Amino acid sequence: MPPTAGDLAGARAGAEAERVFIGAGCNRVVNNVSWGACGLVAFGAQNAVALFSPSRGEIVTTLPGHKAAVNCTLWLPTKKDVLQVRHRETHYLLSGSSDGAIMAWKIGSGKGEWSHALELPAMHKKGVTCLAGRMVSDTVSIFASTSSDGTVVIWEMAVEPTTSGSCKVSCLHSLSVGLKPMVSLSLAVLPEQEGRLILAMGGLDHKVHIYCGDLSGKFAKACELKGHSDWIRSLDFSLPVMMGSEKHSLFLVSSSQDKTIRIWKMTSDSISSSSMVQPRKENIGMASYIEGPLFVVGNASYQVSLESLLVGHEDWVYSVEWQPPMLLLNAEAHQPMSILSASMDKMMMIWRPEKTTGLWINSVTVGELSHSALGFYGGHWEPDGKSILAHGYGGFFHMWRDVGLDSENWQPQVVPSGHFAPVSDLTWSRSGEYLLTVSHDQTARIFAPWRSHVNPGDVISWREIARPQIHGHDINCVAFIQGTGNHRFVCGADEKVSRVFEATLSFLRTLQEATLLKPDNEDFDDVQVLGANMSALGLSQKPIYTHGGKESPSTTSNDGPDSMETIPDAVPTVFTEPPVEDQLAWHTLWPESHKLYGHGNELFSICCDHAGKLVASSCKAQSAPVAEIWLWEVGTWKAVGRLQSHNLTVTQMEFSSDNAFLLSVSRDRHLSIFSIKKTEEGAQHHLVTKHEAHKRIIWACSWNPFGYEFATGSRDKTVKIWCVQDASSVKLLATLPQFCDSVTALSWTGRDRACNAGIIAVGMDNGLIELWSVSGGRAASDVTSDPSALSVARMLRFDPLMCHVSTVHRLRWQKSDSSDEKSALELASCGADHCTRVFAVRDS
């Protein structure tokens, strides 16, 4: 068992960690995103629910709890519940996952304090695909959930009005919809009918099904709306609308994979009148409606008619949403007649009725230009209707805000970004000013703190500033080339080739804009490449040279839909503001300078020595010949060594701080130490020792930056600390108490060279991270002396709310020249939960 606080008496003082940055992409499913009345946007990022602040453009937290991917989210109160939102201090968030679980979360909107309210009873046997609800009073909400198991469940949430009050959720009713499940829902309160609800559901049978019920949750089918010729993907009710002298009408908008949008109008009439007789057909014109079914609820009947058919998108329309209502001075809610649609054709459109004819027309179109042929999964309004948000196939967000004064002018805004698949590796740049990550989403991304030009002392926001590689294979590993010269990195993917990339001049100048640091002259003098283009049919990124470009590098392509059909050349750009998704995808690529051929299988691990002279790489292997470690000479990029020791895949490698040794660990449960010496002809190497270190796969290793001690971490839930002895063997110095899960990542940083003190960061298979202090042992870089007693103690166990929710793949401490123990250290982590995180660690 891990030691308790009492076991650590006399150990080094503890530490505290602060969350600095979270980067994550959005799960690529419909209904995944919800923009709440509290101003925060919730979305699923693998098994976590992530929240971001649109005003800051940053992810503020992730909420752990789900055991499977999050499919859908819903805020209560919703944006439509404007009367209930006033003066409300607490908001609730519902999330549904692909294993059928639904969870409720509670937030104090002013303080941002989160708590896990409860997990709902398991009513669904398969994934939850959509949530829809409304508040029916200040303390009671009714919401519905649908699942691919063919059921729709009606729930009631009752909350205590106080800030510290709890919430109670009960299942009211379950509807079976047959073999063709529903994938979209919308719930509304019927006009002029106290306590009566209407539920619309659509799915695989191409029909919109209307159910009516009361607050007890008992719903009965009222009618079907036919017209769509493919799956119904989205439904949304408006608030009741007063049209001229008519009574209140309710509007329902539906979208489908048949590329069309339909607006249905529901007009009420009392039973006592002649409503059962077919209404008179007067004033027939272009804007007249097509009559649909009639249904009765309570003492009123409702005539459904097709108000409009909207045709404009060229692909499946995944999302439609009415503009949120506005609260008038007389405390009434006003429903704007405006609809936002999002489609796989990479477009979002705002539809409004024309003032003179009443015909619905497309008044605003925004879109994106991407390498993918697929577009948007959903579009959402800001509660005040000033901004619109899209999420799409690349796990990205797009946000546009209307900044016009006299007329509409929708401009792109900065939003969070990140990988949409497991993040496999990361590395800091040579000086630690930015972070490079690679992922199974087949991209490499650069994140950096962006400082304000106006007030450099303001809060620093981390942004994605470049996307140097867009590839055709999942990327598994990356290493930054140390030493001098231009910024370079080498990465390996699910292919047999390693690829080397060099920074562009436009990136170096953008980095200068972001960090406000004076560049080294060497950074700019020899860089002749301005940018890079993605070849249409290949995987190599071709350079754009400074003397060959005809276009101005200072201009940013802001073309809209007119240029969607063409594939434009990249326009290398020096960004003075954080780039948005379109710019990242097209204009920030780095050119590929070399390919390294040699391995027989997919690349798995890669590292560079601290002098920038040698690169070591390994691939997936099931035999000793394939498990060779290849050494490459930086510059000539020739293979200068093939190191044989392991029988299975080498999972991680690292050079010692003086580059004298190369440490490797493997699936074969052994560690190996190689002696490495760089020569003019290449490199001399020999195997110093091979040792069976753990009982299970060894996933991670890390050297002490001050000496020849190193740590290994394994699936057997242990971390062992070793030292190289007599330059010919290794000795076990300490075994840390067993952890709660497999150890998958390690990183050792130095704090005090005099007493050989440092910190080991430990990442686990369950996503948790711990920090352990290490001091004593042998003096720095002394191989011959006997090791003194090693002192090891746990400093900090990270709060699970700050940690990953799946396997931690890599931990890296930022390089720091400071030996001041009071200065903050930055720790970067990445994991299978699609997240990249940066923490600031300080002594408490």
Which of 595-631 are b and which e, b meaning 16 or more Cβ less than 10 Å from the residue's Cβ?
ebeebebbbbbbbbbeebbbbbbbbbbeeeebbbbbb
786: exposed, middle or buried (Cβ count in 10 Å: 0-12, 13-18, 19+) = exposed
Task: Provide Rg for the chain, Cα atoms.
Answer: 30
Q: Which stretches in the chain have pLDDT values below 70? A: 1-13, 109-112, 161-165, 243-247, 270-290, 369-373, 453-459, 518-528, 530-540, 543, 545-570, 778-788, 816-822, 844
Closest by Cα among 628, 647, 655 to 639: 628
User: Nearest 5°: phi and psi at 40?
Assistant: -95, 150
Q: State how far the Cα of 573 lies from the Cα of 571, in Å rounded to an integer.
A: 6
Q: What is the pLDDT of residue 547?
A: 61
DSSP structural state of residue 88: -
Residues 6+ apart with CB under 8 A from 36: 42, 75, 78, 79, 91, 93, 383
705 CB neighbour count, 10 Å cutoff: 19
517-550 tens-digit pLDDT: 765 545 555 666 766 666 655 666 776 766 654 3
373-405 tens-digit pLDDT: 688 999 999 999 999 999 999 899 999 999 988
Q: What is the pLDDT of residue 519?
A: 55
Strand pairing of 300-311 and 290-297?
Answer: antiparallel
Q: In terms of pTM, does the model score above 0.85?
A: yes
With H, G, I as helix, E, B as strand and everything else as coil, classify residue 493.
strand
Give one word for 325, left, alpha or beta, with left for phi > 0 and alpha for psi -120 to 50.
Answer: beta
Q: What Å distances lie between residue 627 and 526, 634, 668, 685, 695, CA to CA?
A: 37, 22, 10, 17, 20
With H, G, I as helix, E, B as strand and everything else as coil, classify residue 137.
coil
How far is Cα of residue 328 from the mean position of the Cα atoms in its chain? 37
Residues linked to residue 722 through DSSP beta bridges, in sequence order: 710, 732
164 CB neighbour count, 10 Å cutoff: 7
Q: What is the pLDDT of residue 538?
A: 60
Q: What is the pLDDT of residue 404?
A: 84
Q: State how far the Cα of 840 lies from the Cα of 844, in Å rounded to an integer.
A: 12
Q: What is the pLDDT of residue 273?
A: 43
Q: State how far the Cα of 509 lies from the Cα of 437, in Å rounded to an integer.
A: 20
